[in-house]
Amino acid sequence: MVNRMQFYIDGAWVDPVVKKSTPVVNPATEEAMYEIALGSRADVDKAVVAARRAFETFSQTSREERVALLTRIIEVYKTRIKDIGASVSDEMGAPLPMAEKLQAGAGLGHIIATLDVLKNYHFEETVGSAVVVREPVGVIGMITPWNWPLNQIACKVAPAIAAGCAMILKPSEFTPTSALIFAEILHEAGVPKGVFNLVNGLGPEVGAAMSEHPDIDMISFTGSTRAGIDVAKRAAPTVKRVSQELGGKSPNIILEGADLTKAVTGGVMHMFNNSGQSCNAPSRMIVPLSKMKEVAAIAKGVADKTKAGDPRAEGTTIGPVVNRGQWDKIQGLIQKGIEEGATLVAGGPGLPEGVNKGFYVRPTIFADVTENMTIAREEIFGPVLVVMGAKDEEDAVRIANDTPYGLAGYVSADTVETARRVGRRIRAGNVNLQGVPNDRTAPFGGYKQSGNGREWGKYGFEEFLEVKAIAGFNAA
């Protein structure tokens, strides 16, 4: 039984300093399932004391010890895949098969990838008379979102453990159970007490306390750009490292000569995956102006086959969005698209046909979207795709880069050489060519207001390391 009314601090389940709780609502039914405890600054203080103490010894462990620890975590994680999948499905609405395979699977994938990095990483190198060593940063505060909960938790916790850091995790209050299961996994795997600590709570309370805490050396944050700015401001007086993965409004350029049916179909399906709740979703499809009607017809065909429904039901493509606030925001932006003159090709406001409760959004396509429209500028974070027309390749690149965000970009072209050329010109941290998905060993992160720092693989691991130069180490 998952313990939702306690926190995991210093290797044990403990009561909050002040008793306070909030309900967790199932987005498919709009009904509260249970309560979770909410933490305070005092709980963060307790977790930081435990983490600082643990860091003194854990930072001195050998590579071999940490390899053995990650290996045990992987083995225990595999036994909890179904538990994780069920919790993610219930709390954020992902269809159950997708929650088990992709949501829970992403977490496992990151731990395995981190283990491979740790086994082969060079912690020291010679530079002239100096030796340059890489050491753990220290105590890490981690703030993770609800949309890919295990993906974000694992790609922070695994490299932090591999580096020899100690940490405090504040998961989203909308998806707490998968994080609590993750704490159980680490406990069973034998993570030393104090190395991993979990405090549930709200951003303005627990998140703020972590960001401001003088004994936390780094904040690793994933979430909205608005919240990321607040975290950075609060962290500034203590000059702690801040690594952020924030919002996006990613362009999907489909050039003249590309396989239109394949590119449009793949782009729409990717956009609707996870009910559009992905920061790197290809939310702006940029196509040749002359192909707008053809693209709209193909996109409508995909939308019409996308079934929004019960996450536990057979044949469901997408579930609900996570909560009432998100649903209201998405509905407002759909209405704004209509009012500003975009062509509604599929979907629209309101609940899908045959649905009378739950935070379900109709899979929606807008065509003839121009750059000044609200739906072309703002991150919608729902199953809503905007299709924009470009005069030529140059215009497509210009439109792609006309955004304050820079997390991802996508290019489909007649040849891979063309896709490479255009991909190099997109100002984003991740660019996918010809429908090829991300590689977990390659870095993930953004330009501009999509954040700083990188996650995944070697680059994500190095975020948790300090660089020290010891001059004269190699002097004769």
**Catalytically annotated residues:** 245, 279
Report the distance separating Cα 284 and Cα 29, nearest Å.
31
Nearest Cα neighbor of 157 from 70, 247, 244 is 70
Task: Provide the residue count of the chain.
Answer: 476
- DSSP symbols for 336-370: HHHHTT-EEEE--SSPPTT--SSS----EEEEEE-
Considering just the CA atoms, what is the radius of gyration of the chain in Å? 23
Enclosing H/E stretch for 286: strand 284-288
Tokens coding 226: 């608005």
Report the distance separating Cα 390 and Cα 377, nearest Å.
16
| CB atoms closer than 10 angstroms to residue 290 | 10
- DSSP symbols for 300-329: HHHHHH--B--TTSTT-SB---S-HHHHHH
Check: CB of residue 289 under 8 Å from CB of residue 391: yes
Give, as one character, the DSSP assignment of residue 464.
T
Pairing of strands 343-346, 364-369: antiparallel
Report CA dihedral (388, 391, 393, 396) to the nearest 10 degrees: -30
Report the distance separating Cα 133 and Cα 137, nearest Å.
12
Which residue's structure tokens are 């731990």? 111
Residue type, 437: P
Q: In 402-439, where does DSSP find H-type helix?
A: 416-425
Check: CB of residue 273 under 8 Å from CB of residue 283: no
Report CA dihedral (42, 46, 49, 53) to the nearest 10 degrees: -170
Sheet holding 465-470, edge to edge: 124-127, 130-136, 465-470
- Long-range pairs, 29-34, Cβ under 8 A, ≥24: 29/357, 29/358, 30/324, 30/357, 30/358, 30/359, 33/90, 33/91, 34/4
Instruction: Provide CB contacts within 8 A for 416, sequence distance 6+.
Output: 433, 434
